[in-house]
Structure 1
Amino acid sequence: MITKHMSMGEILDLDAKIADVLESYSLDCQNCSGAQGETLEEAAKGHGVDLNDLIEALNKVLKG
Structure 2
Amino acid sequence: MITKEMAIGEIVQKYPETVEIFFKFGLHCVGCHAAQYESLEQGAEMHGIDIKELLKALNASIKKK
Pairwise TM-score range, normalised by the shorter structure: over 0.9
The structure richer in helix per residue is: 1
State the superposition RMSD in angstroms.
Answer: 0.9
Q: In the TM superposition, what whole-angstrom CA distance separates every residue of 1:2-61 from its partner, at most 9, and x where no partner exists? A: 000000111101222111100000101223211110000000000000000000000001
Unaligned stretches of 5+ residues in structure 2: none
Aligned position for 2:8: 8
Aligned length: 64
Structure 1 residue ranges (4+ consecutive) displaced by more than 2 angstroms after TM superposition: none
Separation (CA, whole Å) in 2 of partners of 1:29 and 1:46: 11
**Unmatched tracts of structure 1, length 5 or more:** none
> Which sits farther off after the overlay, 11-20 or 49-58?
11-20
Tell me what 2:39 maps to. 39
Report % sequence identity. Answer: 39
TM-score normalised by the chain length of structure 2: 0.91
Amino acid at match of 1:61: S
What TM-score comes out, normalization by structure 1 length?
A: 0.92
